[in-house]
Each structure stands twice: as structure tokens, then as C-alpha cells.
Structure 1
Amino acid sequence: MADVARQAGVSKKTVSNVLSGYPYIRDSTRERVLAAVDALGYEINVQARILRSGRSGVIALAVPELGQPYFGELADEVLAAARRQGLQVLIEPTGFTREGELEALRVPRGRLVDGLVFSPATLEQADAHLLEGLDYPLVLLGEQIFSDRVDHVTMHNVEGARAATDLLLDAGRRHIAALGMLHAPTAGSATLRFTGYREALEARGLEVDARLLGWADAGWHRSNGARAMAAVLDSGVEVDGVVAFNDALAIGAMHELQVRGLAIPRDVGVVGFDDIEDARFSVPTLTTIDPGRREIAEVAVDLMRRRLDTGAEQGPPVLHVADLRLIERESTPPR
């Protein structure tokens, strides 16, 4: 710590405050200290910190998987937000399994972490009681479970899917496929995004055509988007638009459409959801919904920081819904 202080031109106390997440530090000072930490390869002795203060300065992030681009990019955002707050992050993929998610809730990593940011995919509303009575701060992400006992950061799923569908309807498309349907009884985001899709159709006097629903029970990956698109096309139904429940499905669907000789967006307009980096580099570039991933990460870490500073029981739980944006690119007809 003394070496870091000399490198940054500050006191050891200032270094300690930065690494402990003390909020009243100038941004320029914090950046100098963190740059010195990087340059010198300084690593905090977590065990010593726990013995001294009872806190490790480490939080856990539990997500279904990192191979799905949304969760990988969310993890990057959480890491960056935590770093700005003087926290380190232990990332724990739960493998889209109930066992993995229950394990993440069990005092993460034997008390080496101070709190948990948790994005469940398999736990259901009936499991909400598992989130109560924990003796560490918990910030919940996503739409799988809602509880008024813990801080929760989520997104506008219904509104986002409706905006995506409306964009195609406004362009005169009337045979719009929805890709990402799940047979699971509590499908979280899939159910909410289908609701937005259905509401947009019904508002124009259109009914949902079951032949236009593409199922992706094996996961929201590119390959399953291609398979779901193929199944819809093979049914013989007319398709002039696609709303995919995430960008990976949309990119897979665009591949399948182009393999079959369909031009995007002339023949079929495509809209995704999540605004992952690949959406800006697909061919054509992908119109998508930005659900506020950076905001979700920053608010989640800020809520965690506040709970760590004031105590998990201080103040009522917060429900925060991130802003969304419709980002129009080349995969939809220009308005």
C-alpha cells in the first residue's frame, strides 16, 4: 500500500479509502490510485482485510452463463461499476440450473464476499421466500422473481418488445414472427416479451398466429435462433418481419433468412433485444432494444454499496426499472 501511495502521490490513508470504497474521494485521485494499483500489480489480502474489518470488499455476481452475450457484457459493466466503487467482483455462472442458483444463495463462497448481485433464470415466484432473511445484502436482477423484501433492478420487457413490434407494424409488416418462446411455465423475460409482442398486434386488430411463434427451449443462442427461424419458414406461413427476444436469436435468424435467399430488410425486417456489441457489426447491422444494461449494472452496484455502508436492514428495498431505447439500424426498413 505504501508503494501504491508513492506511485500515486497520495497518503497511505487515501489509498486505503479508495480501495475500501470510501465515497468522498475526488475522481481524479481515485483514478490515480487505481492506475498505480494496476501498474504495480497490487493485490489486496482478502483474508487479512476480513480479520481486520469484518468485510472483504468483494461482492459476488451470479448469472446464468457468460457464453450468452448479454450476461457476458452485463458482467463487464458490473466489474467496471464495482471498480469505481472500490469493490472487487467474484463472478459465479450458475449454469441455468436450479442447483446452481440455490448454491449461489448459500452464503457465497464461505464469507469471502460481502454481498450478492443475483440474476436467477430457473427459480420461480414460489421461491421468493428463499430471498428473505439472508444475513448478507442481496440485489436481485431480472424478471424471474419479484420480492418486496430485497433491492431489485429490472428492465421494461413488455414495453421494449412492444416498441420492437410497433416499429415493424409501422413499416407495413403484418406477418411478424416472434422468436424465443419457451415452454417453461414461468419463463420470465420470454413471457413478458411475448406479452409486448401480442399487445402490439392486438392494438392493430391483428391476432397472434401460432405458426409465427419460434420456440427456443434449448436457449437464446444464435444456433437456436436459426433453428427457430427455419421452423417458422418451413411451416409455409408468410413472414415479413421478425421480433427476436434477444440479439443472439436475431443474428441466428438473419443467417437463416439470408441462406434461403431472403433480403433484409427488403423481404423481412428483423428487430432484436439487448443491444449487444455484435448487433453493431452484424450484416446488416441489427435494429434492437437497448434495455439499459449499463444503468442496470451501475444501479445494482450502487445499491449494494449503500447496503454495505448502512446495513442491509437500513431503509426500504428499492425497485428500479432501467430506461430503454429503440436503436434503429439496417435490419429494419427506414421510417
Structure 2
Amino acid sequence: MATMADVARHAGVSVKTVSNVLSGYPHVREATRERVRASVDALGYEINVTAKIFRSGRSGVVGLSVPELGQPYFGELADEILAAARRHGLQVLIEPTGFTREGELAALRVPRGGLVDGLIFSPAALVQADAHLLDDLGYPLVLLGEQMFSSSVDHVTMRNIDGAQAATELLLDAGRRQIAAIGMLHAETAGSAWLRYTGYSKALEARGIEVDTRLLGWADDAWHRANGARAMADVLDSGVRVDGVVAFNDALAIGAMYELQARGLAIPQDVGVVGFDDIEDSRYSVPTLTTVDPGRREIANVAVDILRRRLQETQRPGAERGSPVLYLAGMRIVERESTPRRSG
């Protein structure tokens, strides 16, 4: 019977690369992925999950469900979770849910087949009325993202309000007063956009500045670069003066910077821009992007650690489940070229 090492030799790659491909790791070159899959087929290699379950009662595989891997934040979060899981000897099966309720409900059903021991789950479409669906699933579940509803499930989240407030205060401290918020969503009243808007508005109100609705840039379809550019264009086309931008993620910020520069506005001299997420692209944009680091690596490490501890609890007969954990990751502002330098 072929082993993973046999597949690695046949494909001319490392055993780790084979593991990455079989685990659904997103950042493997397509040519390498195809070569590994061809070797798997040629050698008839099979992961004997059934035997592993029979021996230990567990598959050693955990699920990760995120809205989409095309958004850099979720792709980079998946990287961190994969790395954290490997340190604990776990493999990860990734399931994008497409920002749909149906996709998220399907992800919750997946572990019942026995191939996945537990699930790290980042919902975007479920609402408070769905909270009961998260209870008594029969497997450990760790939620990521906003605390959009109350439940008895472990939850690892970020400081959305604090982060957006700090981003806005950075621009206010630089003397900017006409600060646009890019990334508003009409349908949202509890998720990332609403929480980040809350932080933005709190910072303005603390300085005695009323929110000017003309400075709100709406991005209802998605938080991609194109949406940021369109939202920025809508704000500028309203005729309102803009000297600062708080974008609700880095992709929106990069799109907004493109639109500002296309109209001859200099960054940060004319308009200072702050993003959110500290994705890799923010280090290589022109200018480089000041952003909020929401503690992505910390979120990944803590989520995997909580799930691992819950899995250990299930292996101890009669062990009582500990109280649900609510963990808030730390955040920090990463200052780069898109905002004015602070004096001193």
C-alpha cells in the first residue's frame, strides 16, 4: 500500500507539500497541486481515515468554515489556522460557505459524517434566530468573528469597535476632520461593518463632530478592491470634501486609494487612509497602507487551542465540559505611508 512518502517521491515534492495538498491548503501552486493529485491517482494512495477513527475514536481532522478564501483576510486566517493545527498534529478540511445561510448550515452538518472531529466556524449569514442551531451539535465548535448572537458556544473574536475607533482617532490626531467611512452595508446591524462604523462614529462624537452621511461609502455586494473604489467614487461625486478615509478592510482601502489617486489627490498629503486587517497586500500597496492589525495569528492560535482542549474533553469519560469561552484578541495600529507622520 502506498504511503504519503511514496506520493512525495513520485511527485518530486516534500511530504509536507503532499500533506498541504491533501489538507486543502489554499496557497499551493496549481501545477504542484495537480502533480501531487496525479501521483495520488497513479499510486492509488488513500488516507485511511476509517482505520484512524477505529484506533483512536478520532480522525485527527478538524473543519474550518469561512465565508470565502478570495478575501485576503480569510485566506491568511486559514494559513494561520493550518499552521496552528499542524503544531498540534491536526489536519484541516476547509469549506468556504459563500456568505450564504445555506452554505453555513451545510458546513454545520459536515462533521456528522464522522470524518471531522470538530469545527472552527466563521459565520456571516446566520442571525440570532439561528443561535439554537449551534447548541448540542454533537461535536466541538469554536466560533470566529463577531458576536452576532448569544449561544453556549466558544467564541474567539476581534476588537472591531476599538480598532475602528483607534483608526479614526489616528486621522483626527493628524488634524483631519472630513473622514469618510468606506464599507457600509445597508442590510447589516450586528456584523463587522456595523461594529466598525460604531467605532468610527464614537471617535467623531468624542471630538464633537457629527457624522456626515455624505461621507459614508456603501459597499453592499462585497468588500473587495473594486467595491472600495466605487464607494470612494460615490463619496467624492457627492461633492463633499474628504481629507481622511477609514476603510472597513484593507481591500476596500486599496480600492479607495486607487480612486483618490486617479482623481489627482495625494496620499497622505491630501487624504490620509487607514484600513483594517493588516493583510499582506497592505505592506506592498503604493503608498503602503496604515491599518489595524486585529490579532489574526492570536485568533488562529487561540481558536485551535480551544478546539483541541474540547476534543481532549470528549476523550475523557464522564468529564464535564468547561464553561464557554469568549476571547477577545488584542489589536494594534500599524502605521505606514498612507497616513501623516505623527510628530515626536
Show the counterpart of 1:98: 101
RMSD: 2.0
TM-score under structure 2 length normalisation: 0.84
Q: What is the distance in 2 between the residues matched to 1:205 and 1:92?
A: 45
Moved more, 47-56 or 276-285: 47-56
Q: How far is 1:47 from its partner?
A: 1.8
1:326 equivalenced with 2:333 (yes/no): yes
Aligned structure 1 segments of 4 or more residues deviating by more than 4 angstroms: 41-44
Show the counterpart of 1:215: 218
Q: Is the 8 Å Cα contact of residues 123 and 144 (structure 1) preserved in structure 2?
A: no
Show the counterpart of 1:60: 63
Q: 1:212/1:250 Cα in 2 relative to 1: closer, same or farther (>3 Å)?
A: same
Equivalent residue letter for 1:318:
V
Q: Deviations over 1:43-88 (max 9, x none)?
A: 8521210122221000000000000000000000000000001100
Show the counterpart of 2:24: none
Q: What is the distance in 2 between the residues matched to 1:85 and 1:314?
A: 21
Equivalent residue letter for 2:170:
L
Q: How far is 1:318 from its partner?
A: 0.6
TM-score under structure 1 length normalisation: 0.86
Q: Is the 8 Å Cα contact of residues 147 and 155 (structure 2) preserved in structure 1?
A: no
Counterpart among 151, 176, 183 of residue 180 in structure 1: 183
Q: How far is 1:185 from its partner?
A: 3.9
Show the counterpart of 1:108: 111
Q: Is the 8 Å Cα contact of residues 124 and 144 (structure 1) preserved in structure 2?
A: no
Q: What is the distance in 1 between the residues matched to 2:111 and 2:148?
A: 19
For structure 1, list consecutive stretches of 5 or more residues without a partner in the other structure. 5-40
Show the counterpart of 1:271: 274
Equivalent residue letter for 1:315:
G
Equivalent residue letter for 1:252:
G
Aligned positions, number: 300
Show the counterpart of 1:35: none
Q: What is the distance in 1 between the residues matched to 2:320 and 2:218?
A: 42
Moved more, 291-300 or 104-113: 104-113
Q: What is the distance in 1 between the residues matched to 2:150 and 2:139?
A: 16
What fraction of aligned residue pairs are identical, expressed as a percent? Answer: 79
Q: What is the distance in 1 between the residues matched to 2:154 and 2:230?
A: 37
Q: How far is 1:118 from its partner?
A: 0.2
Q: What is the distance in 2 between the residues matched to 1:280 and 1:88?
A: 30
For structure 2, list consecutive stretches of 5 or more residues without a partner in the other structure. 5-39
Q: 1:313/1:123 Cα in 2 relative to 1: closer, same or farther (>3 Å)?
A: farther
1:74 equivalenced with 2:77 (yes/no): yes
Equivalent residue letter for 2:233:
A
Show the counterpart of 2:324: 317
Equivalent residue letter for 1:218:
D
Equivalent residue letter for 1:251:
I
